[in-house]
Amino acid sequence: MKMIIDEVNRSVDFWINALNNYSFEMLFLKPSPDSWSIGQMYQHLLNDTLFYLDQAELALADKYNQTKDTTVDGRKMLDENAFPDIRLEGHPSNASIPQPVSKQYIFDSMIELKGRLNEMAVKIEASAVQGKSQHPGLGYFTAKEWLQFAGMHLRHHMKQKERIDEFISQQT
């Protein structure tokens, strides 16, 4: 568990520190009409990580789904502790992610998220329940796997950030 939460904390810290590199206006710049801005990507990271925390809570709440499996792809990702090294197509609802209301909102939300992730790590270590909850495409995860997945997701978007940063550098 220590390795997982250490990786999660490093990833959240990366995103918090990276926020210093952007003006509020830069958060809105999009490489193309159908891609995200940095601000939308932060919103996505916050929204999805909160979903993962909710799922971890469900897995800790009871022993339901204890015998259900992760998909082959999901197990491979967890075993490798990484998303595949490819650009993944997101869910169509991702297109409607709003722009952030302020840079301070993102900063405060990321700090709060880090606290919640660390609280979850403590809960997981203290819990005797080993239930699972369902990921929309990768089968069933334990609470510990949800926390691991959160870190993997945060790291996965670092490459997308590099692509958006390259575009921003050409605009400013």
The ranges assigned to domains in the chain are 42-84+98-172
Per-residue pLDDT at 126:
94
Averaged pLDDT, 30-36: 88
Q: List, for residues 37-65, the tens digit of each pLDDT value.
A: 999 999 999 999 999 999 999 999 988 89
22-26, 31-35, 87-91, 95-99: which range is least confident on average?
87-91
Task: List the one residue out of 150, 120, 12, 113 whose CA is nearest residue 59.
Answer: 120
Query: Is the predicted pLDDT of residue 86 greater than 80, yes or no?
Result: no
Query: Is the predicted pLDDT of residue 91 greater than 60, yes or no?
Result: no
Name residue 135's beta-bridge partners: 139
Question: 92: pLDDT confidence band, cut at 50, 70 and 90?
Answer: low
Per-residue pLDDT at 74:
97
Query: Is the predicted pLDDT of residue 19 greater than 60, yes or no?
Result: yes
Residue 104 carries which side chain, given as an amino acid letter? Q
Per-residue pLDDT at 130:
85
Mean pLDDT of the residues in the chain: 93
Averaged pLDDT, 88-108: 80
Query: Is the predicted pLDDT of residue 169 greater than 90, yes or no?
Result: yes
Measured CA to CA, the distance from residue 49 to residue 51 in angstroms comes to 5
The residues, ordered by sequence, that sit 6+ positions from 91 with a Cβ below 8 Å of its Cβ are none
Torsion 166-152-93-70 (CA) sign: positive
pLDDT: which is higher, 89 or 40: 40
Q: List, for residues 129-150, the tens digit of each pLDDT value.
A: 889 999 999 999 999 999 999 9
Question: 93: pLDDT confidence band, cut at 50, 70 and 90?
Answer: low
